[in-house]
Structure 1
Amino acid sequence: MDARQHSIGLEHQPLLVVDNFFAHPRELVDYALTQHNVLPAGGLYPGLRSPAPASYGRFLLDELAPGLSSCFGASVSHLAKAECYYSMVSTPPAQLSLLQRLPHFDRPNPAELAIIHYLCTGKHGGTSFYRHRSTGYEYITPDRQQPYQQSLKTDVLTHGQPVGYINGSTPLYERIASIPARFNRALIYRCSSLHSGDIPNLSAFDLDPLSGRFTIASFLSL
């Protein structure tokens, strides 16, 4: 692995960028091609998902998490659950819900981690991190969640609903960091950080795992 630690934004949230993340990434793609339980994702993810192999989750918890304390603090030593999903964006911009057009946080718990593992090349964009202009928040905790949501409602009334996937700074958000995709690159960050994939605003997407925007999204929790 080739890991580089970053501190992003005014609130100095940790971000770890790891190249050569998995020893045999092509095997992950090959496994995905044998799966038949690909379904529309629940929640806010704008696309398709299927479970990643259980051994991948064990790798994250047993081999990766113990070495993350220097970047994310001692709390990561208590991470005990891994949810891992193959993911492909498939929703056209015109069909997005309002919340899918905005940066999001996965969970309002800075002690839990999210990982995006790219099984595609840089032509599919990357991932960006954002500051909410009205509140100055770059991450959301339980005590911030209500004022953030209330301020966001006011923002939308003032500026109108955004159109399509977010791909940079807007009247509501300032982009504070952007990391391009690279095959077998992983981004590791706190679940509470505001972020969004850099998704092109296309009317149709390449849904072939060998050529499309194919990733594994993982969430490590307590």
Structure 2
Amino acid sequence: MEVEVHEIGRSKSKVIIIDDFLTSAQDAVDAAAALPAFPPEGRTAYPGRRHQIGPGDKASSCVMDILKTAGPLIQSHYNADDFRVLEASYSLVTIPPEKMSPRQRVPHYDWDDPDYLAIMLHLHRVPHTGTAFYRHVASDLEQVRHDTVTEFRKQAQAELSNPVSTGATLNTHYEQIFQVEGCFNRLVIYPGCLLHSGYFPPDFSYSCDPRTGRLTANVFILTARGSG
């Protein structure tokens, strides 16, 4: 494994990148391909399809491998004594930009708790796609936390509701501060309160097939301190 730790933006938020993460990454792809077709994501604004991984699921071994290997890095770099899993899934981006809602076309945060971490393992070989991180220009926020979420939502919604900014929202209202390309078997860990968005090449296929699409394994955890 090759580990890089980046402190990004003015907030010096830690983003961890680990290459050659799993010894059995192709097995994780095969397990995803053996599942029934992923259903469309209906709970969040994720622009695609997801297979939720719960206890006893055939794909749960992939989640355990991710947590077992990444656990020590999470504990040391995010000052975490312990953590618990909130959600895990296989995910495929399948909705092209012209069919996305305005909300899906701008950066987002996962949760306003700085102890909430997103873990994403890239299980595809689609080039020139990954995750970019942003600063919201009007609020100067890179992280959306408990004490700033109300004001951020108000400003972001006003921007989305302004027809003048439609089509230029990303460039006008958000400044990119960092990006991570999604290479096969690369794991990325970052605080879920960071503003971020996926990026895709012009010829991206938006495939629903785990063997050819932008397949990722996503795990969301909540860290805790002072428990051991």
Is the TM value for this pair above 0.5?
A: yes
Q: Which moved more, 1:33-42 or 1:130-139?
A: 33-42
Q: Which moved more, 1:87-96 or 1:13-22?
A: 87-96
- Residue 69 (str. 1) matches residue 75 (str. 2): yes
The residue type equivalent to 1:162 in the other structure is G
Do the aligned partners of 2:75 and 2:82 also contact (CA within 8 Å) in 1?
no
Per-residue deviation, 1:133: 0.4
Match of residue 9 from structure 1: 9
Do the aligned partners of 1:124 and 1:213 also contact (CA within 8 Å) in 2?
no
Match of residue 189 from structure 2: 188
Do the aligned partners of 1:92 and 1:202 also contact (CA within 8 Å) in 2?
no
Question: For residues 78-93 of structure 1, what are the structure 2 equivalents within 5 Å?
Answer: 78-93=82-97
CA displacement 1:7-35 (0-9 Å, x = unmatched): 00111110000001112000001111111
Match of residue 41 from structure 2: 41
Do the aligned partners of 1:93 and 1:202 also contact (CA within 8 Å) in 2?
no
Across the aligned residues of Structure 1 and Structure 2, the Cα RMSD in angstroms comes to 2.1
Do the aligned partners of 1:106 and 1:192 also contact (CA within 8 Å) in 2?
yes
Unaligned 5+ residue runs, structure 2?
A: 54-58, 224-228
CA distance in 1, matches of 2:211, 2:37: 18
- Residue 99 (str. 1) matches residue 100 (str. 2): no
Do the aligned partners of 2:205 and 2:213 also contact (CA within 8 Å) in 1?
no
Per-residue deviation, 1:201: 5.4
Match of residue 198 from structure 2: 197
- Residue 174 (str. 1) matches residue 175 (str. 2): yes
How many residues matched?
A: 216
CA displacement 1:73-110 (0-9 Å, x = unmatched): 2xx32211252211111112222112111101111111
Query: 117, 120, 125: which is aligned to 2:121?
Result: 117
Identical aligned pairs, as a percentage?
30
CA distance in 1, matches of 2:114, 2:23: 28
Do the aligned partners of 2:113 and 2:146 also contact (CA within 8 Å) in 1?
yes
Task: Give the match's secondary structure for 2:63.
Answer: helix
The residue type equivalent to 1:121 in the other structure is R
Do the aligned partners of 2:126 and 2:213 also contact (CA within 8 Å) in 1?
no
TM-score scaled to structure 1, two decimals?
A: 0.88
CA distance in 2, matches of 1:129, 1:159: 24
Cα–Cα, structure 1 residues 79 and 208, in superposed 2: closer, same or farther, change >3 Å? same
- Residue 220 (str. 1) matches residue 194 (str. 2): no
Unaligned 5+ residue runs, structure 1?
A: none
CA distance in 1, matches of 2:126, 2:38: 24
Question: For residues 157-168 of structure 1, what are the structure 2 equivalents within 5 Å?
Answer: 157=162, 159-162=164-167
Cα–Cα, structure 1 residues 126 and 4, in superposed 2: closer, same or farther, change >3 Å? same
- Residue 19 (str. 1) matches residue 19 (str. 2): yes
Do the aligned partners of 1:124 and 1:212 also contact (CA within 8 Å) in 2?
no
Do the aligned partners of 2:135 and 2:176 also contact (CA within 8 Å) in 1?
yes
Per-residue deviation, 1:68: 1.8
CA displacement 1:36-62 (0-9 Å, x = unmatched): 151001211110111342223333444
Question: For residues 137-148 of structure 1, what are the structure 2 equivalents within 5 Å?
Answer: 137-148=141-152
Do the aligned partners of 1:57 and 1:83 also contact (CA within 8 Å) in 2?
no
CA distance in 2, matches of 1:7, 1:88: 28
CA distance in 2, matches of 1:191, 1:67: 17
